[in-house]
């Protein structure tokens, strides 16, 4: 009975998982860009305070809940019988990609707390480069899931 229930909900679970991933990725693309701009404004300025609010709201209202939903729905998908061929190698690449994305998410969350305290441990140049990390990880994840090269 449980197996049929999971299998019957698979299309909905997959759709909701993709929606959660899209929302998570939108935030992961935008937050480092906010850090690029935030790192260039004077500490204590009106713009700095505005960036703090934007960063906090983006992380708490969009990125964190979307990541949680993506993880929960992704785990549900892999628990659905017949979805993953555990003998294939592609899922290792996907796992590395989403663990990397989750780690980068943690890095961004920690950076937000530092910006909140008016600390600037990283330069604008660093954040410009870091802004590309979610794109690289997303390409890896999508290729692993769609192409399944191994």
Which residues make up each annotated binding site for heme?
17, 94
CA pair distance 77, 82, nearest whole angstrom: 10
Token pair for residue 21?
């991933």
Instruction: Write down the number of H helices and E strands in the chain.
Output: 6, 0
Determine the longest span between alpha carbons in the chain, in angstroms. 61
> Using alpha carbons only, what angle is made at residue 110 by residues 98 and 144, rounded to the nearest 5 degrees?
10
Cβ contacts of residue 146 below 8 Å, gap of 6+? none
Q: In 10 A of CB 17, how many CB atoms? A: 19
**Binding-site entries:** 17, 94
């Amino acid at each position: 009975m449980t197996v049929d229930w999971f299998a019957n909900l698979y299309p909905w679970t997959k759709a909701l998982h993709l929606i959660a991933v899209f929302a998570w990725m939108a935030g992961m693309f935008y937050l480092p860009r906010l850090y690029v701009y935030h790192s260039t404004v004077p500490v204590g300025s009106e713009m700095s305070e505005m960036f703090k609010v934007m960063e906090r709201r983006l992380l708490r209202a969009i990125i964190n809940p979307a990541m949680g939903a993506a993880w929960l729905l992704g785990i549900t998908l892999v628990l659905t019988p017949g979805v993953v061929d555990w003998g294939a190698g592609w899922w290792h690449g996907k796992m590395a990609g989403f663990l990397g994305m989750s780690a980068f998410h943690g890095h961004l969350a920690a950076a937000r707390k530092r910006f909140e305290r008016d600390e600037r441990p990283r330069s604008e140049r660093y954040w410009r480069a870091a802004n590309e990390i979610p794109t690289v990880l997303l390409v890896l994840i999508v290729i692993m899931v769609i192409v399944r090269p191994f």
